[in-house]
Amino acid sequence: MNAHSHTDTPRHADRVGYALVSPYVVFFLLFVGYPLIFSFVLMFHRWNIVTPMEWIGLRNFERLLGDPLFYASITNTFIFLFVHIPLQLAAALGIAVLLNMNVRFRGFFRTLYFLPVVVSGVVVTILWQQLYAYDAGLLNRLMTALGAARIPWLVNPDIAMGSIAIMATWKNVGIYIVLFLAGLQNIPSELYESASLDGASPAARFFRITLPMLNPTVVVVLVLSTIGGFSLFIEPYVLTGGGPMQSTLSGVLYIYYQAFNFGHMGYAATLGFVLAVLVFAVVVLQRKSVETEGTV
Amino acid sequence: MKRGLLYAVLIAGAVVFAYPFLWMFASSLKPEAEIGGFGLWSSSAGFHNYAEVFSRIPIGRALFNSILTSTISTTSVIVFGSMVGYALARLNFRGRDGLYYLILFTMMVPFQVTLIPQYVLMVALGITDTYLAIVAPTLLSAFSIVLFRQFFRGIPQAFIDAARIDGCSEWTILRRIILPMARPVVVTVAILTFMTSWNEVLWPLIVVRERSLMTMPQLVTLFTIGGESEALLGLQLAAATLLALPIIVGYSFFQRSFIESMASAGIKG
Amino acid sequence: MCTFWKHVLRGTFSFLALSFVVLPGCREHSPDTAPVTDVVTLTYWPAPNPQEVAFADTIVRQWNRLHPRIQVRMQSIPVSVSTEEVLLAAIAGGTTPDICSNIWPGALHEYTRAGGLLRLDRFADFDSVARSRTPDPLLQTFRSPDGGFHQMPWKTNPVMMFYNRTLFEESGVELAPRTYSEYFAAAQKLTRDRNGDGIIDVWAGERDIRPIWWQRLFDVFPFTIAASGGRTLFEQGEPAFATPATEGVFAFFQRCYAEGYYPHTYFAGGDPFILEKKATQFSGPYLVATLQSLAPRLRFGVVPLPVPDDHTGPVHTYGDYKNIAIFTTTRYPAEAWEFVKFMVDARQDLLLLTVANQLPVRGDLLTNRMFAPYFEKNPMIRSFAEQVPYTRGVDAAPDLKELFDALSQEYESCAVYGRKTPSQAVLDAQERIRAIVDWNR
């Protein structure tokens, strides 16, 4: 390809192009390039910003390997994903299939289901803090009204992360309903018609046509939920502070604590790097496994 | 019969997603002792919790800060994002494709890596506790560039050639011809950027300590977890309602655009 | 050619235009340049609680009347998660005030390492001023590792046990408990359903169940100091608290939760001691004023912390010290020092007692006739003043906050949730603290 095909002077197009992309170059250097390089430098230092940096070699990594809180944050993230992803997929797909059934007021329902998506996570978290309160929370009042026992949503270390995952599902499911709905509407109706002629049951049609055709959307939901799970911050920050027993300490929350409560910029950068590598690895693995499954 | 069940499920879903917000608003009007019941009505409802929130924290100022910073981010992302997107879509210059791949690559860099160094940069530039620090990392976004580029590639070359023959500069072409045609993508980018910026809490928490500069979600967060709300539910719910209100109002007018924009952000994955 | 420059110009312009919108935010906060007038203005940050703000307000007004040429401007510390965070950030940003009276010795290490604090012994009269107020052995515990003094010992809040007399009498507990066994015996009677609706609504005690590091300064840490006869977490720079005394403290709280004497829930809606939902509270003397203003009908007493049954000798405790420091950003060190001296004068110390109910770190607290009328009127505060000689501060270790965080989390696992034995939890806490300290070497 000739870069200078339809321009008046040979270098003119280059110049105009460079001028137009220059804001991005500046932005990239400041907010991506420099941080990437600097985070690499930071990983080998102990630094609280105010005093000079101290080179400490691999001690941040040594500390990380022996840090119970690091392992806790990773385990917690996986617990979150383990609850959140299936719930999200099932809820989003289920509601999308219902909405796809020639429903009246579809737009109205969609608007309502989408409401938590647009509202700030802070609002949702404050609201759910009240819903989840053990003694007087709305959910436990509902439980006792139904004659069931109260659930220690946020105070039991075994279920607190699950509770946060439910809340996150409630907050985000609207997006995925819309995505699945779009996916459903893209499935050619002939596929269903020919399957019906072959005598396939509704369930068989769902599993043989709907699900495989929605595979790209499923991958999107998986990847976005995973990235979201690894980015969890404001929910545990407001709801639990990472407790009880560090059961809701998320990776980003731990980075935040290390950096801004304890002033350990180097260690926080190390945690961030390792966490980022993990997100990357998990997403790649998911894509590989789920996408091949779809094409088979 | 079957349809009845379908609507029952859908309505139950609507209750699940919308009722908590109604409850939040209703409870924020109630006196402290009455919060906790399912009911929405209270005979002693009033705006005392709101009055109290306004007297305890500078939430009006925070609203202004949030509107200001979100508007700056949005304007900047549209102006610079469309410039870069246009260059990548319609101009030939050396390194163009490399730059495009670089932009795609940056979308895959998790923020966990860059968060701390970005904060360090703010400290090094001496701009913590300024509006500039709040907006700086959001003045451009790789995703918006990609959106603009995709849209601009679909515009027929004839429009651009005609303008070039008339002697328009590329800048003029972008502003006078391309952008007016690109209204849908501008709306998408505007909504996405504004929402992201409006809802962001982690970054302001990190770079702003000065109360008068805090954004609304940040101030409300600190109000809730700090001692100032004295764990009073009514105050927390009132603060949360105030935070939710501008977005809910915007959403009720432009639901379609909101949903489409945010869903398009989902598809990028 | 021209168009290229046009593009660049336009780009720069739009960037500048944006910057202009953004910049006013920065301007407000750049350090003021020296005023042309010869009036010196000092900024002073007191602790952000109402009593201390009231105290600070009073003394600043007095000072400003007496010193028209050195005006002090009081600002309460910006609200955030903790003063320490705010101060470190301020040091980092060069936005510290001239003087702050909310310096926690546990964070001093970090402040001085950051070069944020002025050495006070550079002032010729530091020694005489400090010694005339604080007994020398106590004064020496505030010396920085570099041998200098970066803080003026100011006030201390010994942690003691408050108890609600009404709840004690209602439950038939006659004496305030002195030992763990006595505490448990009382707790069994105190924890009950007061209004008869079948739900427990009064507890013997309550602690925030979230592992907030500074909460340990009011339970595990002072209890450990008490149980060990005055030892803290470190010995000669090494963590050395995996002792039977600490295990006993963990076991004490574990039992409080296991038996239901302490609730497992997080209280919303106000302090449960003020609301008379818990019978005992561990706190400093400032609670006296809070109780008197917020719950004037609440009848309470104050006693030293409970100790193991076989304990002998005086009961020690933790004293929450808050000291005064001058920051290196000050442009008027001499004037700032004058103000500090004014603050620690006996007359201001009397104000500190009367306005804020907090104890100045003075040797003559119980002997100086100036203070006698106050203690006569406030016998409750007198018991705190009696504790002062048996008060210990926090260890001078780096990252104290993180150390207490680790301690808190192990305490939480053991005491609140009963998932670890006391000896295991104490050992784990010591190991984690050692790892943090080692990483810091």
Q: Which of A4, A14, A16, A20 to mutate to test the interface with B (most CBs of B within 10 A)?
A: A20
Task: For residue C80, give the nearest of B68, B131, B209 by CB distance.
Answer: B209
N-to-C CA span, chain A: 38
Calculate ∠ Cα A70-C245-C202, nearest 5°. Answer: 80
Average pLDDT in the B153-179 region? 87
- Neighbouring subunits of C (3+ Cβ pairs under 8 A): A, B
* Distance separating alpha carbons of residues A93 and A110, to the nearest angstrom: 13
- C273 and C421, same structural domain? yes
**A contacts of B175 (beta carbons < 8 Å):** none
**B80 has a pLDDT exceeding 50:** yes
The residue assigned the tokens 């010795």 is C105
Closest CA to B220 of B60, B33, B36, B26: B60
C6 touches chain B (CB under 8 A): yes
- Segment of A181-190, B173-182, C87-96, C420-429 carrying the highest mean pLDDT: C420-429
- The fold of the A66-295 domain, in CATH, is MetI-like fold (1.10.3720)
Cα distances (Å, whole numbers) of residue C4 to A16, A73, A186, C13, C252: 6, 51, 46, 14, 77
Q: Tell me the domain boundaries of chain A.
A: 12-60, 66-295
**A69 has a pLDDT exceeding 70:** yes
**A contacts of B266 (beta carbons < 8 Å):** 175-176, 178-179, 220, 224
Look at strands C280-283 and C160-164 and give their pairing: antiparallel
Look at strands C160-164 and C99-103 and give their pairing: unpaired
- Neighbouring subunits of A (3+ Cβ pairs under 8 A): B, C
Cβ contact, residue pair B83, A23, below 8 Å: yes
Mean pLDDT over the full length of chain A: 87
> How many angstroms away from the CA of A232 is the closest CA of chain C?
19
Contact A48, B115 (CB under 8 A): no
* Distance separating alpha carbons of residues A278 and C438, to the nearest angstrom: 27
**C contacts of B171 (beta carbons < 8 Å):** 3, 6-7, 10
Residue in chain A lying closest to B254 (CA): A111
Question: What is the DSSP secondary-structure string of B49-98?
Answer: HHHHHHHHS-HHHHHHHHHHHHHHHHHHHHHHHHHHHHHHHH---TTHHH
Residue in chain B lying closest to C83 (CA): B209
**B254 has a pLDDT exceeding 80:** yes
Cβ contact, residue pair A50, C88, below 8 Å: yes
* Distance separating alpha carbons of residues A296 and A283, to the nearest angstrom: 20
The amino acid at C44:
Y
C240 assigned to some structural domain: yes
Task: For residue A141, give the nearest of B10, B38, B120 by CB distance.
Answer: B38
Give every CB contact of residue C353 below 8 A, 6+ residues apart in sequence. C359, C360, C371, C374, C378, C381
The amino acid at B169:
S
Query: And the tokens for A224?
Result: 């976005």
Mean pLDDT over the full length of chain B: 88
**A3 has a pLDDT exceeding 60:** no
Query: No. of H helices and E strands in chain C?
Result: 18, 13
Cβ contact, residue pair C417, A22, below 8 Å: no
Question: What is the DSSP secondary-structure string of C317-340?
Answer: EEB--EEEEEBTT-S-HHHHHHHH
**Which CATH number goes with the domain that contains C237?**
3.40.190.10
Cβ contact, residue pair A244, C110, below 8 Å: no
Closest CA to A49 of C150, B214, C94: C94
Calculate ∠ Cα B1-B4-B5, nearest 5°. Answer: 95
Query: How many structural domains does chain C have?
Result: 2
Contact B184, B155 (CB under 8 A): no
Q: Which of B169, B215, B224 to mutate to test the interface with C (most CBs of C within 10 A)?
A: B169
> How many angstroms away from the CA of C413 is the closest CA of chain A?
6
Q: Which of C3, C4, C199, C424 to mutate to test the interface with A (most CBs of A within 10 A)?
A: C4
Closest CA to C437 of C222, C236, C151, C249: C236
- C204 and C254, same structural domain? yes
- C116 and C181, same structural domain? no
Q: What is the pLDDT of residue C270?
A: 72
3-state secondary structure of C263: coil
Closest CA to B145 of A27, C438, A162, A154: A27
**C contacts of A16 (beta carbons < 8 Å):** 3-4, 7
* Distance separating alpha carbons of residues A177 and A111, to the nearest angstrom: 11
Encode C40-53: b = buried (16+ Cβ within 10 Å), e = exposed: bbbbbbbbbbebbb
Within A105-158, residue ranges assigned H as helices are 106-118, 121-132, 138-145
Q: What is the pLDDT of residue C27?
A: 38
- C314 and C334, same structural domain? no
- C200 class by beta-carbon count within 10 Å (0-12 exposed, 13-18 middle, 19+ buried): middle
The amino acid at B85:
G
Q: How confident is the model at residue B267 (pLDDT cuts 50, 70, 90)?
A: low
- C244 and C143, same structural domain? no
- B176 class by beta-carbon count within 10 Å (0-12 exposed, 13-18 middle, 19+ buried): exposed
Contact A240, A248 (CB under 8 A): yes
Encode B194-226: b = buried (16+ Cβ within 10 Å), e = exposed: bbbbbbbbbbbbbbbbbbbbbbbbbbbbbbbbe
* Distance separating alpha carbons of residues A94 and A169, to the nearest angstrom: 13
Task: For residue C22, give the nearest of B128, B135, B169 by CB distance.
Answer: B135
**C contacts of A52 (beta carbons < 8 Å):** none
Query: And the tokens for C381?
Result: 């505060």
Contact A39, B116 (CB under 8 A): yes
Q: What is the pLDDT of residue C434?
A: 94
Q: What is the pLDDT of residue C5?
A: 46
3-state secondary structure of C199: coil
The residue assigned the tokens 């505007």 is B190
- C406 and C302, same structural domain? yes
Instruction: Lowest mean pLDDT of A5-9, B34-38, C132-136, C139-143, name the range.
Output: A5-9
Cβ atoms within 10 Å of C19's Cβ, excluding its own: 11
Span B52-267: which CATH code?
1.10.3720.10
**B238 has a pLDDT exceeding 60:** yes
Closest CA to A113 of A91, A82, A87, A132: A91
Average pLDDT in the A197-216 region? 85
Q: What is the pLDDT of residue C30?
A: 39
Is the omega angle on the peptide bond into residue B31 within 30 degrees of 0, that is, cis? no
Cβ atoms within 10 Å of C435's Cβ, excluding its own: 17
- C411 and C294, same structural domain? yes
Closest CA to C214 of C275, C149, C284, C263: C284
Looking at chain B, the domain(s) classified CATH 1.10.3720.10 span: 52-267
Query: And the tokens for A285?
Result: 């693995």
**B157 has a pLDDT exceeding 70:** yes
Percentage of chain A surpassing pLDDT 70? 94
Higher pLDDT, A254 or C34: A254
Contact C391, C158 (CB under 8 A): yes
Query: No. of H helices and E strands in chain B?
Result: 15, 0
Query: And the tokens for C361?
Result: 């770190």
- C271 and C242, same structural domain? yes
- C291 and C193, same structural domain? yes
Give every CB contact of residue C83 below 8 A, 6+ residues apart in sequence. C47, C48, C77, C102, C104
The amino acid at B114:
T
> How many angstroms away from the CA of B83 is the closest CA of chain C?
9
Residue in chain B lying closest to A96 (CA): B10
Look at strands C152-156 and C322-326 and give their pairing: antiparallel
* Distance separating alpha carbons of residues B110 and A284, to the nearest angstrom: 14
- A228 class by beta-carbon count within 10 Å (0-12 exposed, 13-18 middle, 19+ buried): middle
Cβ contact, residue pair B117, A175, below 8 Å: no
Give every CB contact of residue A119 below 8 A, 6+ residues apart in sequence. B21, B244, B247, B248
ipTM comes to 0.89
Q: How confident is the model at residue B175 (pLDDT cuts 50, 70, 90)?
A: confident
Per-residue pLDDT of chain C (441 residues), as tens digits, is 344 444 544 444 444 444 433 433 333 343 444 445 689 999 999 988 888 889 999 999 999 999 999 999 998 776 655 787 788 878 877 889 999 999 988 888 888 878 899 999 999 999 999 998 887 877 877 877 678 899 999 999 899 999 999 999 999 999 999 999 999 999 999 999 888 887 888 999 999 888 888 899 999 999 999 999 888 898 877 899 999 999 999 999 999 999 999 998 766 667 889 989 999 999 998 888 788 888 899 999 999 999 999 999 889 999 989 999 999 999 999 999 999 999 999 999 999 988 887 899 888 888 899 999 999 988 888 989 988 878 888 877 788 889 999 999 999 999 999 999 999 999 999 999 999 989 987
**C contacts of B166 (beta carbons < 8 Å):** none
Cβ contact, residue pair B113, A265, below 8 Å: no
* Distance separating alpha carbons of residues C48 and C26, to the nearest angstrom: 25
3-state secondary structure of C316: coil
Cβ contact, residue pair A122, B255, below 8 Å: no
- Binding-face residues of B in 223-242 toward C, CB within 8 A: 226, 228, 230-233
Contact C395, C233 (CB under 8 A): yes
Residue C99's domain comprises 40-150+322-360
- C234 and C88, same structural domain? no
Instruction: Lowest mean pLDDT of A237-246, A269-278, C78-87, C425-434, name the range.
Output: C78-87
**A contacts of B258 (beta carbons < 8 Å):** 114, 118
Backbone angles phi, psi at C187, to 5 degrees: -60, -35
**B269 has a pLDDT exceeding 50:** no
